[in-house]
Amino acid sequence: MAPNARIIKVDLQVNDMDRNYYQTHALTLAQHPSETDLRAMVRLLAFALYADPRLEFGKGLSTEDEPDLWQRDMTGRIERWIEVGQPDEARLRKASGRAEQVVVLNYSGRGADLWWEKNASALERIRNLTVLDLPAEMGEAIARDVQRNMQVQCFIQDGSLQWLDRDHTTDIVARRRMAPLS
């Protein structure tokens, strides 16, 4: 029998001064047995960065036609497709045809650099793609104390995010490798 997903309940308060978005979200993260705490918390961080009432988590690692997070409009059209980690370039090309905006949030330090070096020329042709890199130490800082029930506050201003959980405060600045042309 395969082990079950771990359920993480999170009260996430987002105070995004850049977008004038102030909201509390009661979230349930299903952490796949093969998913690390780091990856689960980076998914939560991605939610905080792009928080919206219609943003939701995908079905998970075992579902190939869904992203880690996505936001759909009232008609079901995909507005934002968010991937965490180093997705395949072909997957991102396909997502770019299905969604208005595609975002990759990379988090593995040197692994992110290697992924970018391998895929940069192909990814630069995707006109609606944003690629952000989370420094490895910042990802590790937010993943150090994952619990079944969490309260997290995120303050976002001038592109910087401050993550406050039960015991720690972490300042996070993601590096923008690529952004869509205006």
Q: 173 lies in a domain?
A: yes
Q: What is the pLDDT of residue 2?
A: 44
Q: 39 lies in a domain?
A: yes
The enclosing domain of 136 has a CATH number of: 3.10.640.10
Task: Give the global pTM.
Answer: 0.93
Percent of the chain with pLDDT strictly greater than 70: 95
Q: 154 lies in a domain?
A: yes
Q: What is the pLDDT of residue 61?
A: 63
Q: 31 lies in a domain?
A: yes
Q: What is the pLDDT of residue 145?
A: 84
Whether residue 43 contacts residue 57, with contact meaning beta carbons closer than 8 Å, is answered with: yes
For Cα atoms 65, 71, 73, give the angle at the middle one, nearest 5 degrees.
110
Q: 16 lies in a domain?
A: yes
Spell out the residues 6+ positions from residue 34 whose beta carbon is closer than 8 angstroms to its own: 61
Whether residue 43 contacts residue 103, with contact meaning beta carbons closer than 8 Å, is answered with: no
pLDDT digits (tens, 9 = 90+) for 77-134: 999 999 999 999 999 999 999 999 999 999 988 899 999 999 999 999 999 999 999 9
Q: 1 lies in a domain?
A: no
Domain span at residue 66 reads 6-178
Indicate the number of domains in the chain.
1
- The tokens of 88 are what? 């395949």
Q: 54 lies in a domain?
A: yes
